[in-house]
Amino acid sequence: MNLSLYNTMSRTVEAFEPLERRHVRMYCCGPTVYNFAHIGNLKTYVFEDILRRTLEAAGYRVTHVMNVTDVGHLTDDGDEGEDKMVKSSKEKGLDVHEIARMYTDAFFHDTDALNILRPHVACRATEHIEDMIALIKRLEAKGHTYVAGGNVYFSIDTFPDYGKLAKLNLEELKSGARIDVDENKRNPKDFALWFTKSKFENQVMVWDSPWGVGYPGWHIECSAMSMKYLGESFDIHCGGIDHIPVHHTNEIAQSEAATGKPWVKYWVHGEFLINETGKISKSKGEFLTLSVLQEKGFDPMDFRFFCLGGHYRSQLVFSWESMDAARNGRRNLVRQVRALKEQAAASSVLCAEAQSYVDEFSGHLGNDLNAPRGLATLWSLLKDNSIKPGDKLGALYRMDGILGLGLDSPEQEKEEETAIPHQILALVEERLKAKREKNYHRADELRAIVEKAGYKLTDTPGTTQVSKTL
């Protein structure tokens, strides 16, 4: 399987060649655990999961590392603003560590529900403060830092390639166009590595350091932890597209300034999920989480299926109508798979025709993760009556190894029996009797009554199933 990926650094699709022959080292920016993940966040993790599964399907051993940001960071990249962890902790009346634990659990609960493979290493920022301090010391020794107003800053003017990822034009950037510039900074684009004198109110999350008691800047954790677990140069770094201009730009500066080596080979960024009003965010509009979707009757897999319908580098438009479409489409798929399962067991060796569908599918996924095309191939396979059920199922399972829709997992019969009132059951009985007597006029009357009461009747040979209308 050939694999090519769009590299933000070169702005082109490049053939993928890892630094080590059969091993891929991948770092994904993880959640900041001061709140639930919203479905926009989750879209990015779905894309990263597709990337990982594609790499594995291509035969690579993957080491997947993700950070969990449990250090409080300010609502502002400068020295102002409120600490988000503290803010959340106050609102919930829990201490910051409890907040972090609660939202970390919630995060993995959601990603598990979406069948997203867990990273091999999920590292907490609070457990790597020493690594961050060591990295800052390294930068300090090389003259990339300065102390001002009690904080340690990275001086971007000491790093000639600053902004290469985002293609920032430093002359023309209007820093401070929308916010006030931190007056401690020599260059408005400088960023803090360590804070000691912020007016933080968080007395819990502070650590001792050579520069005084305080806490790390928000970019340093990713550099420190990724290099700790993946080495000073590794293959893939991914995250949301919003990270390009600031977070990843700063990570590159501090990482490469410290080591003097190229840091990351491929930068892969996922586009945003948006709705009619713009991006889905934590501070704007309705806060859409996976739980909200589930409360509205959607299965987490419906959301995964929905995400797979668009390309990861395109904005995807969320609407309830689209979710309905995704649910219908996925139910249709599951139904067909169930029918195949009843006919045959999945073949372990595929016939040539089935294999050619799998190859076509792999070609699409290998071509910068074109999941929508892959899905189209899956539907054509399903429709191809020249392929025997066992081969069809075997091919489907291979495709699903990447799609992760859980097609091979045993059917969980979700339709749990909600208690049907005995009045309704009595009406159903009466209707059955009318049916047997071929009194269809009466039977239809009874159907109307029962349906009006909020129950759906489905006739099967000899009996009738009752279920509550959603």
Partner RNA sequence: GGUGCCGUACCCAAGUGGUAAGGGACAGGUUUGCAAAACCUCCAUGCACCGGUUCGAAUCCGGUCGGCACCUCCA
| Closest C-alpha among 255, 295, 308 to residue 135 | 255
For residue 163, which amino acid is it?
A: G
Least separation in angstroms between residue 167's CB and RNA is 6
Is 137 or 245 the residue whose CB approaches RNA more closely? 245
Cβ proximity to RNA, 57 vs 369, nearer residue: 369
d(CA 191, CA 211): 16
CB of 365 to RNA, least distance (A): 12
From residue 266, give the alpha-carbon distance in Å to each of 67, 119, 277.
18, 18, 32
Closest contact distance (angstroms) between CB of 20 and RNA is 26
337: left (phi over 0), alpha (psi -120 to 50) or beta: alpha
Q: Cβ of residue 78: shortest distance to RNA, in angstroms?
A: 7
CB of residue 390 to RNA, shortest distance in Å:
18
Residue type present at position 344: A
In the complex, what is the shortest distance from the CB of residue 387 to RNA, in angstroms, rounded to a whole number?
13
Helix ranges (DSSP H) in 77-208:
84-92, 96-113, 129-141
Q: Which residues contact 263 (CB under 8 A, 6 or more apart)?
A: 223, 227, 232, 233, 234, 251, 252, 255, 256
Residue 176 or 454: which CB sits closer to RNA? 176
Nearest approach, Cβ of residue 435 and RNA (Å): 5
Minimum CB distance to RNA smaller for 23 or for 284: 284
Neighbours of 417 (CB within 10 A): 9
How is 244-260 classified by DSSP, letter by letter?
Answer: IIIIIHHHHHHHHHHHS
Query: Which is closer to RNA, CB of 347 or CB of 439?
Result: 439
Distance between CA 95 and CA 206 in Å, rounded? 14
Q: Which strands sit side by side in the sheet containing 316-317, from one edge to the other? A: 278-279, 273-275, 316-317
The three-state secondary structure class of 181 is: coil
Q: For RNA, which is the closer residue by CB, 137 or 188?
A: 188
Least Å distance, CB 213 to RNA, is 22
Cβ proximity to RNA, 137 vs 435, nearer residue: 435
Beta carbon nearer to RNA, 55 or 365: 365
d(CA 304, CA 56): 19
Which has the closest alpha carbon to 51: 9, 60, 188, 306? Answer: 60
Give the span between the Cα atoms of 126 and 239, in whole angstroms: 21
Other Cβ atoms closer than 10 A to 179: 12
